[in-house]
Amino acid sequence: MNPIEPTVRVQPGDFDLSAEVAALTKIRKNIGAAVTFTGLCRDEEGSLAALELEHYPGMAEAEIGRIAAQAAKRWPLTGLTVIHRYGRIEPGANIVLVVATSTHRKAAFEAADFMMDFLKTRAPFWKKEHRADGSVGEWVDAKSDDDKAVERW
């Protein structure tokens, strides 16, 4: 089976989870599993007003595309969609979506997990905090746990 062509979008606007799943599941009848991951903005116990997501236009799409192509090569997927937002994002709003579909669930689960682990450490996005008290907060620090997470693959 040739690897599928993943869909990658980097955009300021929101996405519709069910529409993205439907786009991958309506094209074939042999899909037994659709796994989705949605990353959202937390309010950090009320202290955060919003996150400002900066990205590197061009490289963001290219790097997510490279990770998605690896996932598509490694697991027998029937579809893979990755959407990452940028700009100002408020608590409760969506930041990132991964939809992986496959004939069986294991490939879809693993591919979505792999996608997120590499996206967090390699996709050129940076989060800056805007605090609820009106001040501009810090740049969010990268977590060493995220670096460790990629090592298991």
Q: CA angle, 129 as apex, 125 and 133 as ends, to 5°?
A: 165
Is-contact 80 111, C-beta < 8 A? yes
- Which CB sits closer to another protein, 31 or 112? 112
For residue 27, the minimal CB distance to another protein (Å) is 27
For residue 67, the minimal CB distance to another protein (Å) is 11
Name beta bridge partners: 110: none
For residue 51, the minimal CB distance to another protein (Å) is 10
Interacting residues with another protein (CB under 8 A): 39, 53-56, 58-59, 62-63, 84, 95-96, 116, 119-128, 139-142
Q: How many CB atoms lie within 10 A of CB 135?
A: 9
- Which CB sits closer to another protein, 31 or 119? 119
- Which CB sits closer to another protein, 14 or 54? 54
Nearest Cα neighbor of 111 from 80, 132, 87 is 80
